[in-house]
Amino acid sequence: MNQERPNEAIAKQVVERVMGIQLEHADTHGGVDYMSTDGTVALEVTAVTDGEKQSARHALSRSKAKGSPTTTLQGCWLVFVSDTQPGMKTFMQRVPPAIAELEFVGETYFDDQRAAAHVIEKGELSRIYRPLLDAGVERAVYQPHPDRPEDPDHVHRIWTSTGSGGSVSGSDESLDRLMEELNEKPDNPTKLLASGAEQRHLFVWLNDDTWYNIARPLSRESPSWADDGWGLPTTKPQLDPSITHLWVVHDRSRLGWLWDGEKWQELRDP
């Protein structure tokens, strides 16, 4: 029997808890991962990820662990950067001071294309823009945080949102990109169909190495004030007929979606 993997076991527990059923490991020689005790439900577990992103993400984590120079900000900033660019190991040592200077001169938005043109023209903000461009910052957005009596200890900070693979307009477009990737995995529907089960569930794990345009709605890498307009998909997933149910869960945030064949429902820490 094939060895049960940790992410498969967790997916099994999620499905059991949400659906109130019991599943047994069934992948003896390359078959479907799990079957219900009565044989009516089959579950196959997979992941959509990009291994090339891992080294850059780890470099950014090491940079964060080193700590940033002491800076005083008047509000929070959301900073977007590609997670495949070099130099991530010193990112948090270079960016906060430049953001603080940007804020000090009254700027509330940074765009790399506009900034690059400004530097070429030797504009007055070139000395501030250049370190951000060198660090690979694509966009930075200032978000004021008014003083609130219920949150006296709030500290303004920089939120770093890493991503690659392009941007998307919302959850529906992310879902479309996910379907494109799943179509490249024909073994999943093949195993589910061969199970003979009435309900055939595909559980998809996303993680911090999944393409940003797919994981964006569920990763919650940005604070809540930057997530307006992102929620459950509004369109039906274009699934292979062998798949009746689709689960999509991010392994860090534990946020996800479930398509039950008719509608979407939200999963929070399932």
Distance between CA atoms of 82 and 170, rounded to whole angstroms?
A: 19
Domain that holds residue 190: 6-50+167-268
What is the predicted pLDDT for the residue at 98?
92
pTM above 0.75, yes or no: no
Q: Which amino acid is at 8?
A: E
**Domain C-terminal end among 105, 136, 163:** 163
Question: Is the domain of 254 the same as that of 227?
Answer: yes
Q: Would residue 34 count as lying in a domain? A: yes
Q: Would residue 200 count as lying in a domain? A: yes
Q: Would residue 216 count as lying in a domain? A: yes
What is the predicted pLDDT for the residue at 225?
45
Greater pLDDT, 264 or 30 = 264
Q: Would residue 131 count as lying in a domain? A: yes
Per-residue pLDDT of 5-24, as tens digits, reads: 999 999 999 999 999 999 99
Question: Is the domain of 120 the same as that of 133?
Answer: yes
Question: Is the domain of 77 the same as that of 127?
Answer: yes
- Tell me the mean pLDDT in the region 109-136: 94
Question: Collapsing DSSP states into helix, strand and coil, what is residue 78?
Answer: strand
Question: Is the domain of 40 the same as that of 23?
Answer: yes
How many domains is the chain built from? 2
Question: Is the domain of 46 the same as that of 171?
Answer: yes
Q: Is the pLDDT of residue 61 over 80?
A: no
- Tell me the mean pLDDT in the region 177-197: 95
Contact residues for 193 (Cβ-Cβ < 8 A; gap 6+) = 200, 242
Confidence band for 167, pLDDT divided at 50, 70 and 90: low
Q: Would residue 80 count as lying in a domain? A: yes
What average pLDDT is seen over the chain? 86
Q: Would residue 38 count as lying in a domain? A: yes
Q: Which helix (H) or strand (E) holds 232?
A: none
DSSP 28: S
Q: Would residue 191 count as lying in a domain? A: yes
Distance between CA atoms of 215 and 166, rounded to whole angstroms?
A: 11
Q: Is the pLDDT of residue 266 over 90?
A: yes
What is the predicted pLDDT for the residue at 45?
97
- Tell me the mean pLDDT in the region 54-79: 76
Q: Is the pLDDT of residue 91 over 90?
A: no
Q: Would residue 1 count as lying in a domain? A: no
Question: Is the domain of 157 the same as that of 177?
Answer: no
Question: Is the domain of 46 the same as that of 65?
Answer: no
**Domain C-terminal end among 143, 163, 183:** 163
Lowest mean pLDDT of 48-57, 203-212, 247-256, name the range: 48-57
Question: Is the domain of 45 the same as that of 68?
Answer: no
Question: Is the domain of 93 the same as that of 137?
Answer: yes
Question: Is the domain of 57 the same as that of 46?
Answer: no
Question: Is the domain of 249 the same as that of 260?
Answer: yes
**Domain C-terminal end among 163, 180, 210:** 163
Q: Is the pLDDT of residue 198 over 60?
A: yes
- List the CATH number of the domain containing 210: 3.40.1540
